[in-house]
């Protein structure tokens, strides 16, 4: 059965990949995006785009009235950890208060199935893989704003009679295999994005934010998941939620970590040329080690990733960077 999907933030990096994945499976996609951080060029031609903010009550109500959506996927939000530390109120307002207002409007229009885009940052620091039962300890206002939405969904699901899937992303990277979409950002702090910009000559060098962590080479370790696999996770969880799947929370990663230096070395191998970098100070609120325990998701969905390969992640990211810099 093909369904009618509403995506907020569908002109962004992850949202646009998911939009393509849904359309590839024959689903109908409508996108709400303010284009503050999104880019209209990333929106699939077969998707309907409405340019507005999610807390524009009049416009969003009109959209909800004109379409009978089966499910909403919420990607819209501010994502820069460094900015959230400097402007915590901005992140609380946009990521939590506006989101809560939007969801309440959805409930009034009987849209009661939600896929929520959360983050592994809610776990804070760890020395081992984190399962969904790990103690939550957000280190920055960005992570806290996501956790507050999670708590809102958990607290109100029975009271307001809706179902949700919360997906906690680890480090999302790479680009669509067909290069239909990828990451476009003027202010990206994403390691692989910046490294690829250096590789194609858009930046002069990469700054490693801290090399004195208690890891094998002193640099932070992250679990990188290919954005195409993450898109498939969204399609899979949504299709299950539309049937009989109960509300739940799942980690989205591969369960394998790479340090910053390991990522750079792998990119050097691909390029056959060394990426210029220098060591800088640690960033405020950065975690040392963030790797997913993915057992719960695999048990529930019998899922196997297609692109669990750091080389593929880097190659697609690099091809995308070359494409947008022509």
Give tens-digit pLDDT for 198-208. Answer: 999 998 889 99
The answer to whether residues 61 and 208 belong to one domain is no
Write the CATH number for 69: 3.40.50.720
Task: Say if residue 247 is in the same domain as residue 260.
Answer: no
| 27 and 89 inside one domain | yes
199 and 114, same domain (yes or no):
no
Residue 326, pLDDT above cutoff 90: no
Give the rounded percent of residues in the chain with a pLDDT score beyond 70. Answer: 100
Over the stretch 126-155, which tens digit does the pLDDT of each residue have?
Answer: 889 999 999 999 989 999 999 999 999 999
pLDDT of residue 1: 72
- Is 142 part of the annotated catalytic residue set? yes
Task: Identify the pLDDT of residue 244.
Answer: 82
Same domain, 99 and 229: yes
Residues 294 and 248 in one domain: no
> Does the residue 276 lie in any domain?
yes
Query: Which of 50, 96, 123, 142 is the catalytic position?
Result: 142
Region 243-256 average pLDDT: 94
131 shares its domain with 277: no
Q: Provide the number of structural domains found in the chain.
A: 2
Confidence grade of residue 285 (pLDDT, cut at 50, 70, 90): confident
Residue 193, Ramachandran bin (φ over 0: left; ψ between -120 and 50: alpha; else beta):
alpha
Range of the domain at 201: 191-222+255-324
Is the pLDDT reported for residue 258 higher than 90?
yes
In this predicted model, what pLDDT tens digit does every residue of 18-66 receive, in sequence order? 999 999 999 999 999 999 999 999 999 999 999 999 999 999 999 999 9
184 in a domain, yes or no?
Answer: no
- Answer yes or no: is pLDDT of 320 > 80: yes
Q: Which residue has the higher pLDDT, 272 or 176?
A: 176
- pLDDT, greater one: 224 or 37: 224
């Amino acid at each position: 059965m093909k369904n009618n999907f509403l995506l907020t933030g569908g002109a962004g990096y992850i949202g646009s990949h998911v939009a393509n994945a849904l359309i590839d499976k024959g689903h109908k996609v409508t996108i709400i995006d303010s284009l503050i951080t999104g880019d209209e060029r990333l929106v699939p031609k077969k998707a309907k785009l409405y340019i507005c903010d999610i807390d524009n009550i009049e416009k969003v109500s009109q959209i909800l009235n004109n379409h009978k959506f089966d499910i909403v996927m919420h990607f819209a939000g501010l994502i820069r950890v460094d900015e959230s530390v400097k402007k915590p109120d901005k992140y609380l307002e946009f990521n939590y208060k506006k989101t809560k207002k939007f969801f309440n409007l959805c409930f009034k229009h009987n849209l009661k199935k939600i896929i929520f885009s959360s983050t592994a940052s809610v776990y804070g620091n760890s020395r081992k893989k984190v399962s969904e039962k790990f103690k939550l300890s957000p280190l920055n206002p960005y992570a806290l704003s996501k956790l507050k939405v999670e708590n809102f969904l958990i607290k109100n699901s029975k009271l307001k009679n809706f179902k949700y899937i919360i997906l906690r992303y680890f480090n999302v990277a790479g680009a669509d295999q067909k290069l239909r979409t990828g990451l476009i950002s003027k202010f990206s702090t994403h390691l692989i994005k910046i490294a690829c910009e250096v590789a194609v000559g858009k930046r002069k060098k990469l700054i490693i934010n801290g090399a004195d962590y208690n890891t094998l080479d002193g640099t932070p370790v992250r679990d990188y998941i290919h954005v195409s696999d993450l898109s498939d996770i969204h399609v899979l969880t949504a299709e299950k939620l539309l049937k009989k799947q109960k509300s739940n929370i799942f980690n989205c990663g591969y369960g394998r970590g790479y340090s910053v230096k390991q990522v750079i070395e792998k990119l050097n191998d691909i390029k056959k040329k060394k990426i210029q970098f220098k060591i800088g100070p640690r960033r405020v609120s950065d975690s040392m080690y963030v790797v997913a325990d993915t057992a719960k998701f695999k048990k529930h969905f019998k899922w196997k990733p297609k692109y669990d390969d750091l080389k593929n992640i880097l190659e697609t990211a690099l091809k995308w960077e070359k494409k947008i810099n022509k």
